[in-house]
């Protein structure tokens, strides 16, 4: 096996990572390590963990930006333990795959550092090749609860060729929680975030469960927006959580508070989502969107952001034809097209082993421009 240190430059760190003990850890479930790997059938993540009764240390993995919930394994669970631990994730094959690695635990425990997973290294097959993730033109800071954190996050499904998501989120959060925690990388340690091109903020599920009134929600969210503005000068978008039509859960009721805030703060915008109330689908817990629902929601919000900001990016351009890659998302490919396309150039057939920079699959064969 090949051991790769977590500080390797090919591993991109997005989110509020803290360096400690020759490794990195995060007090936020949404923080991500991103890279591509080819030539390995599995990946093992090595960490030093601190756990106790009633606490958990989770490692989570997303393969090829799958809209399914993150794969999750425990470094430690409900035990008094301090020391090394490892988890292994099997890959679909030894081809090229995009990976996202996260750590997670209960909100108060990881923020205080009482439950901590310090990532040290990864093991991959000897033949494996790591590459940094593809560069994205726009940095999007995402502030929220589990909908933007580790298990159930949807922002990474928006225009994968445009947005690099910087997720400041942990499951279970309410607006009041984030209002008190946003300024910190962990308890008592101020955060230092990169300059974002836009910020999205979305809450509602945990607030409704806790019985927050719309006025209380608006008070907490107004304070949070002002704290974000102190750190970021870019546009801030307040994203309404959709109503669960099937259960009647009115997570959307806080949209009126978001709209009111957008009318009193400059460069703050409200994104209503009533258009997709009947289009999104939910997991069995009725509090999170399922894979299909996340795709619908991410596509809708992404298009609203792109239009509001005046950003136009074609997914791929071939002479005479431009494709907008936001309409179809698959586990591994941002675009699949069924039909005929005129490429404006002659194609030649290639073999699977051909390292052509552009491959076009049609009728079971592969081609590239001559």
**pLDDT-based confidence at 21, cuts 50/70/90?**
confident
Checking if the pLDDT of 6 tops 50, the result is yes
Q: Which pLDDT belongs to residue 355?
A: 64
Q: Which pLDDT belongs to residue 118?
A: 98
pTM of the complete model: 0.85
**pLDDT-based confidence at 348, cuts 50/70/90?**
confident
Question: Which class is domain 2-131?
Answer: mainly beta
Q: Which pLDDT belongs to residue 358?
A: 67
Checking if the pLDDT of 301 tops 70, the result is yes
The distance from CA 44 to its chain's CA centroid, rounded to whole angstroms, is: 21
Checking if the pLDDT of 315 tops 70, the result is no
Q: Which pLDDT belongs to residue 312?
A: 81
**In this structure, which topology does domain 138-309 adopt according to CATH?**
Rossmann fold (3.40.50)
Domain parsing of the chain, residue ranges = 2-131, 138-309
Q: Do domains 2-131 and 138-309 have the same CATH topology?
A: no
Sequence-distant (≥ 6) Cβ neighbours of residue 268 within 8 angstroms? 225, 229, 235, 236, 237, 238, 261, 262
Q: Which pLDDT belongs to residue 342?
A: 61
Average pLDDT, the chain: 91
One-character DSSP codes across 79-142:
S-EEEEEEEEEE-SSSS-EEEEEEEE--HHHHHHTSSEEEEEEEEE-TT-EEEPPPP-SEEEEE
Q: Which pLDDT belongs to residue 361?
A: 72
Host H or E run for residue 48: strand 42-51
Q: Using an 8 Å Cβ cutoff, are 168 and 193 in contact? A: yes
Average pLDDT over residues 253-274: 98
**pLDDT-based confidence at 323, cuts 50/70/90?**
low
Average pLDDT over residues 330-340: 52
Q: Which pLDDT belongs to residue 359?
A: 67
């Amino acid at each position: 096996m090949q051991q790769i240190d977590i500080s390797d430059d090919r591993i991109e760190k997005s989110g509020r990572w803290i360096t400690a003990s020759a490794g990195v850890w995060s007090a936020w479930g949404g923080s991500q390590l991103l890279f591509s790997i080819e030539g390995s059938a599995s990946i093992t993540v090595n960490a030093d963990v601190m756990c106790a009764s009633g606490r958990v240390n989770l490692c989570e993995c997303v393969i090829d930006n799958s809209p399914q919930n993150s794969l999750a394994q425990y470094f430690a669970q409900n035990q008094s333990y301090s020391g090394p631990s490892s988890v292994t994730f099997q890959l679909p094959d030894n081809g090229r795959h995009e990976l996202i690695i996260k750590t997670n635990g209960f909100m108060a425990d990881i923020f205080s550092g009482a439950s901590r997973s310090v990532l040290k290294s990864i093991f991959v097959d000897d033949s494996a090749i790591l590459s940094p993730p593809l560069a994205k033109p726009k940095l999007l800071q995402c502030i929220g609860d589990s909908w933007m954190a580790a298990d159930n996050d949807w922002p990474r499904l928006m225009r994968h060729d445009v947005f690099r998501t910087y997720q400041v989120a942990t499951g279970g959060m309410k607006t009041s929680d984030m209002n008190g925690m946003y300024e910190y990388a962990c308890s008592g340690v101020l955060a230092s975030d990169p300059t974002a091109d836009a910020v999205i903020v979305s809450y509602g599920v945990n607030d409704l469960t806790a019985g927050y009134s719309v006025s209380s929600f608006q008070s907490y969210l107004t304070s949070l927006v002002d704290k974000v503005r102190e750190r970021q000068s870019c546009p801030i978008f307040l994203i309404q959580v959709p109503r669960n039509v099937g259960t009647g859960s009115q997570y959307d009721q806080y949209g009126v508070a978001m709209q009111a805030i957008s009318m009193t703060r400059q460069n703050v915008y409200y994104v209503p989502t009533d258009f997709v109330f009947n289009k999104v689908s939910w997991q069995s817990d009725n509090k999170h969107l399922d894979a299909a629902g996340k795709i619908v929601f991410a596509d809708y919000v992404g298009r609203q952001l792109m239009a509001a900001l005046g950003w136009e990016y074609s997914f791929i351009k071939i002479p005479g034809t431009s494709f907008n890659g936001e309409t179809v998302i698959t586990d591994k490919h941002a675009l699949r097209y069924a039909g005929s396309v005129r490429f404006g150039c002659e194609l030649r057939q290639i073999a699977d082993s051909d390292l052509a920079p552009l491959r076009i699959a049609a009728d079971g064969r592969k081609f590239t421009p001559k």
